[in-house]
Amino acid sequence: MKSSVNTYGFINAKLRAKIGDIRNPQLQEDLLKAGSLVEAIGILKEHGYESAAQVYDKTGDLQLVELSLLNDEITDLMRVSKFLDGEPKNLLKILLTRIEVENVKNAIRLWYSSAIHHRPISYRSAYLVKYKIVNDINYTSIINAVTFDNIIEAVGSSWYENVLRQFSLEEIESNGLFELESALDKKVIDLLYQASNALKKDDKNIAIKLFKMEVDLKNIIMLVRYGWFHQLESERLSSILYPYSRVYKDDITKVYINSNPKNRSVESLLKEKYQDLSNLVNDSFTDNKLKMINQVRALERYLFTKKGKLFENCLGGKPFTIATPLAYFYLREQQYSVICGILGGKYYGVDSKEIEGLIL
């Protein structure tokens, strides 16, 4: 086992400059000022994203650019995780698994479009990561599966197998992929909790604090998005929430969930402990769906910012802990999301101010 002081000292030296670059707002500001997608791609090249820019120069395909950016992110995070050993390394591996889960879900969605809805998907499969991220997954076999059992076979002996076996083709045909995707997301949360809880004291305190905060914020978003906006029935809403958090256990949450979906009050859910959040959402149903969507997005942006500040605060804590690699993983994930959001806005000709309001 490597010395934690030496290891974290080495990682801090490696990552501090990179974290400083990510936190520098210049790239985001320059991308927002770009007058077109082509100009934004040129700015990416100036800021060190040559491979993504070259993909656009060769193909003109924005989704391939996003795939290139994702590949760079995965490669970078894999490299960071190699610096660690034991339980800290395992936690970073689970964080990488979050990216893998999204990729697995995308592969299953392609299969679903083809096998259930008989839509052409061959061109869309080019935008999928097909190499090993954490687990041995045969993505091509998932996409081309004839039966649901073929998908289970494609995930091999990984933990995905036990999750997928909870579902049948008949259920998926009747209910879609919502429950299956929720089950995959909940399993990752379980794995993150287990990995965080297995760390030594200082690392554990940091990881658990960040973990519980993130789960609370995710639960709030789901309670508002699915419970208020989509009016999901009580049993289904309760089943998708993540445990281990204050929001999950709170009596106010239980009352909200068990209320008539048409009468759920976001204000009553948030005002006692999250008054600053309740002001972001107009607590009344309306036929103006766009207004409701914007309110939910405002809430998500606020929570995303709050999460980011807590991660950044970790950087000012004890130096020889897992705080720096955790913050780097989060900031790298955020950076990818912001860049793709701005590029997508430029592609569709959205005004820069509106893009800034929409990106997380």
pLDDT at 285: 54
Pick the range with the lowest mean pLDDT from 44-53, 66-75, 151-160, 307-316. Answer: 307-316
Residue-wise pLDDT tens digits, 156-196: 999 999 999 999 999 999 999 999 999 999 999 999 999 99
pLDDT at 120: 87
CA-to-CA distance for 287 and 46, rounded, in angstroms? 45
The mean predicted confidence, pLDDT, of the chain is: 89
Share of the chain above pLDDT 90, in %: 60
Residue 319 three-state SS: coil
Both tokens of residue 37? 């997608």
What is the crossing angle of helices 50-59 and 62-81, to 10°? Answer: 150
Cα–Cα–Cα angle for 220, 221, 227, rounded to 5 degrees: 85
Quick one: which of 43, 45, 63, 46 has its CA closest to 54? 45
pLDDT at 306: 73
Q: Which residue has the tokens 């309306």?
A: 286
pTM for the full predicted model: 0.90
pLDDT at 1: 45
